[in-house]
A and B are shown apart, each in its own frame.
Chain A
Amino acid sequence: MENYKRLTGDLLVEFFSEEIPARMQFQSGVHLEESFKKAFDKKDIRFGEIEIFTGPRHLAIIIKQLDLKQQDQIIEKRGPRFDANEKALNGFLNSNDICLIDTEIKDTKNGKFHFYIKKIKGLETKKIIPEIIHEIIYGFVWSKSQRWGGTELRWARPLRNILLLLNDKVVEGDLELGNSEVIKFTNYTYGHRHYDKKIKIDYISDYQKILLQNYVILNREDRKHKISNDLKILLTKNKLSLMDDPILLEEVTGLVEFPNVMLGSISDEFMSLPPEVLSTAMKVHQKYFSTTDSKNNLAPNFIFVANSLSDTKRDATVVEGNERVLKARLSDANFFWKSDLSKTFEYWNDKLKNVVFYEGLGSVYDKTLRMSEISKYIAKVFNVNSSFASQAALLSKADLASEMVGEFPELQGVMGGYYSKLIGYNNEVSNALTEHYKPKGVLDSIPKTNIGGMLSIIDKIDTLTCFFVIGKKPTGSKDPLALRRSALGIVQIMIGFNINITMYELFSNSLNLHNNVSKALKIELMDFILDRLRIILKAEGIKLDVIESILTLSIIHNLPFQIIYKRITALNETRNTENFKLFLVNFKRLNNILKSSDVLSFSNFDININLFQSPIETKLFQAINDLKKVIKISEFELNNQEVFLKAIKELQIPINLFFESIIVNVENKEIKDNRLKLMFRLKELIIKYSNFDIIED
């Protein structure tokens, strides 16, 4: 079809708006690219490379080598058979608004038909673009959007200009906003907010350069890179290190058009506040980076990124202003700190009695009482003094009522740790309070101390049990209460602290605190934890069949956690060895024979050694007895799991021998059934370790 030279040009579209929230910018760029690709694909307009720019006010896309003309389209419509009656034929002609001469008769494998072959000449791309822009803008997805003035259109913030060049020429057209307001496509945009200069763009190839001359770094990565670089220079100059914060860096990148990285000082009077308070106050309210000195202590300096080019006089004003703001913020924090220090944990707990944990689940204080109950068993498991454990549970949520945590929710736990230490509670208890919200996700570390691990896990056990009991278990992708993360935390801690209790034991105390919990619900709850284990193991690269072969064991909820973990990892290590492969082949053969037999309908499985016809049967029988002994000493013994697995693997020899010399399907039913029983008993013992039939060859 392509007998003409493909004519292409570059396209630049820039949506210029008031400041778009930093958190939405990156995603909007991704969405913009996808929208344009989809729109041009749909219109049969081909294109080359795409470049995206995202910032506070400029959201832009450059599409290289865009077809200047849509490809011609040929649409074939099949009509009635060539010998159809006139009525049918006229119907076809009328419905397509054509005459008989517009049709032709073509052979198909079903016979001859009338065909209408419609050739649609491709339109010029510039004629289609306005429609595409309209479609993209009205179909754009923002996490939050608004109207402005009289518009019907929604955008993250008011859209003020659309720069639209194809081959360096403005595409004629406009975007309707509703209520007869429009934005005409233009060949200009605006520079940095400070100068607010209208700039004409003559050549798409100059777009970035001209904006840079007007103090807008369009490319997000370039902007981020400049910030990182300037940060490094400033840090080196002042012998400081950065408290790394990629999320803050990304956010700050979205708050500036032309970054200007500066250093400010924190007044001495505030340096006695806990470092977490300082860095949180700086980050949350002011988007400042914290710094540390050579001893890794928080340094009395912060770094911030202004939106301007450097100017000695202005920079001095800006630094001074930011220092003053921080001083006011930290005075507030200081006020909270002092005010909190005059309170007691009893005072806060009293307040928590009036704070609802969740509807139907009592107050936050009630939660701590439940946690204290749960601690009675779990404390032993973690080898923690039971009175410390109970105390930690009862004090764990008090800081939620403190003024500091009221202001900075992210300091929960941390403040409890500080306040309890200053009041003089046992150090272990304080540590537990500090650490008990950890891990905050799969990438976060788990608590360091036993008591911290214990407190974290009982908090999560209570949360999960409660929400399952009131029917709030997550469904599909929805998990508003972050229960999956809680369950994941439990698994992370069980692995990290080598906790070797069963799922039943894990939840026994917490389930006793609720009435009428059905067996089905208990199983769902325990499976919910095992689901997270499955995900962790998969992430470690263990194949799902190995994991499933263990997790599907009927006694899984009564199998201690470390044994589950050990069995899976041991099996994973051995699955590719020759010995194991041989075993698996033999086991599956055995299993298949049993499956196709009527063994399950037998009334008993007693083996009669007098019916043995060969020493090989005796040998297999002996193997069963040997395995029984191994199982007795290893089924629930963590350190013997490898012994158990080894014993199973070694069975490949007697099983193999058995199959090679013994025919199961003999005439004599007694002998045959006795052999089936022999195999069945062996299989029942083998699958005490794992459902090996699930494992793929």
Chain B
Amino acid sequence: MNKKLSFQNIILNLQSYWADCGCALLQPYDTEIGAGTFHPATVLRVLGPEPIWKAAYLQPCRRPTDGRYGENPNRLQHYYQFQVIIQPSPNDIQNLYLSSLNAIGLNTKDHDIRFVEDDWESPSLGASGLGWEVWCDGMEITQFTYFQQVGGIEVKPVASEITYGLERLAMFIQKVENVYDLDWDGVEKNQGGKTYGDIFLQSEKEFSAYNFERSDSSILLKHFVDAEYECNSLLSDNQNLLPLPAYDQCMKASHIFNLLDARGMISVSERQAYILRVRQMARSCCLAWMEK
């Protein structure tokens, strides 16, 4: 049996597989976002201008409320997604996806692969799609979505989005039960090889403390308002729209909202109002992008 693929090799193989399929390889977006979908290469690009858009990229994601101080073997407040977005969705997209599993050492014939209904919705992006979570021997390894709407706007033609949860996938491939035990680089320990824990455990501890205990809510609340203000002002002049910088502010606002949520600063009744504010920003950015 071959040596199990390292975390970084899984990324490399996915990149080269999708590059071979004609996708433009992009890099992670350089601001904190909650999911690969938030990347402008997905949210804005599926709305145009080109009718054909194929891209693949790695994206670190932040979910402040999922922090567990490094004590839970499965939950992280910072993790990686590998995102593939292809528009229009090709007829053989499911098979393309299944072959990608073979490229990372998961021979689909040796496993039980299932496409189980899981419709996707992002209230703060005004986005929704239909699709599945893909199960491999009962483990959800991918989210597969046909984008129907973004920013409340119909996506035409429809784009297919494939999102691999890399930690889970790697745990499955490497057969480890604790995310921190994942082999990151394939190098032996005594040669300086690193595990996921070597790289991220400290970060998980510190950020969990920050997210739950130490973040300054009054500053965050101010940041939210500032981001919202900036976003709106960049979209205020119809002759001089700046949807991309405006969308940066929308992503920031969304992350700040998540931080406030982790701090327990948002009551249920306020929650909806915040989500609506982010959605309004996202929608304005999308409309401005289409305008351009």
Q: Which residues of A line the B interface, CB within 8 A?
A: 18-19, 21-23, 56, 144-151, 157-158, 160, 179, 193-194, 196, 255-256, 260, 286, 304, 306-308, 313-314, 317-318, 320-322, 324-328, 331-332, 335, 354-356
Q: Are B95 and A22 in contact (CB under 8 A)?
A: no
- The answer on a CB contact under 8 Å between A322 and B146 is no
From A146, A151, A255, A356, B114 is in contact (CB under 8 Å) with A255
Known A-B contacts A146-B146, A331-B73; the reply to A314 vs B177 at CB < 8 A is: no
Query: A146-B146, A255-B116 are contacts. A331–B139 as well, Cβ < 8 Å?
Result: no
* Bound Cα distance from A428 to B136, whole angstroms: 45
Chain A interface: which of B15-23, B33-41, B104-112? B104-112
Q: How far is the CB of B95 from chain A (nearest CB, A)?
A: 7
Q: Would you list which residues of chain B between 92 and 117 have a CB under 8 Å from chain A? A: 94-95, 108-117
Cross-interface CB contact of A147 among B111, B148, B267, cutoff 8 Å? B148
In the complex, what residue of chain A is closest to B117 when comparing beta carbons?
A21
Q: How far is the CA of A147 from the CA of B146 in the complex (A)?
A: 8
CB distance from B136 to the nearest CB of A (A): 7
Other-chain contact of B268, A145, A286, A321, A356 (Cβ < 8 Å): A356
5 contacts between A and B (CB under 8 A): A22-B116, A148-B88, A150-B88, A325-B137, A354-B268
CA distance A23 to B117 in the complex (A): 9
Tell me the count of chain B residues lying within 8 A, CB to CB, of chain A.
Answer: 41
Which residue from chain A places its CB closest to the CB of B116 in the assembled complex?
A: A255
Give every chain A residue within 8 A of B73 (Cβ-Cβ).
328, 331
Check B95–A325 contact: CB distance below 8 A.
no
Contact A22 B117 (CB under 8 A): yes
CB contacts (< 8 Å) of A304 on chain B: these are 138
Q: Nearest 8 pairs between A and B by C-beta?
A: A321-B137, A21-B117, A19-B115, A322-B138, A306-B112, A354-B267, A146-B130, A150-B157
For the complex, what is the distance from the CA of A23 to the CA of B157, rounded to whole Å? Answer: 27
Least Cβ–Cβ distance between A536 and chain B, in angstroms: 36
Asked if residues A332 and B117 are in contact (CB atoms below 8 Å), the reply is no
Nearest CB in chain B to that of A320: its residue: B137
Given A149-B157, A286-B138, do A194 and B91 touch, yes or no (CB 8 Å)? no
CB neighbours of B224 from chain A (8 A)? none
Of the candidates A150, A158, A318, A328, the one whose C-beta lies within 8 Å of that of B111 is A318
Instruction: List B42-81 residues whose CB lies under 8 Å from chain A.
Output: 68, 72-75
B74 contacts A331, C-beta separation under 8 Å: yes
Q: B72 near A335 (CB under 8 angstroms)?
A: yes
Are B75 and A307 in contact (CB-based, < 8 A)? Answer: no
Nearest B residue to A354 via CB reads B267
Chain B positions within 8 Å of A335 at CB level: 68, 72
A158/B89 contact (C-beta < 8 A), A328-B177, A331-B72, A332-B72 known = yes
| A261 shortest CB reach to chain B, Å | 12
10 more A-B residue pairs beyond the given contacts A149-B89, A149-B91, A331-B73, with a C-beta to C-beta distance below 8 A? A146-B129, A146-B158, A148-B146, A149-B157, A149-B158, A286-B138, A307-B113, A307-B114, A321-B136, A324-B137
| A residues in contact with B94, CB < 8 Å | 18
Bound-state CA distance A373–B220 (Å) is 41
Q: Which of B112, B139, B148, B160 contacts A324 (CB 8 A)?
A: B139
With A and B bound together, what is the CA distance between A479 and B221 in angstroms? 39
In the bound assembly, the distance between CA atoms of A53 and B267 in angstroms comes to: 49
Q: Are A317 and B91 in contact (CB under 8 A)?
A: no
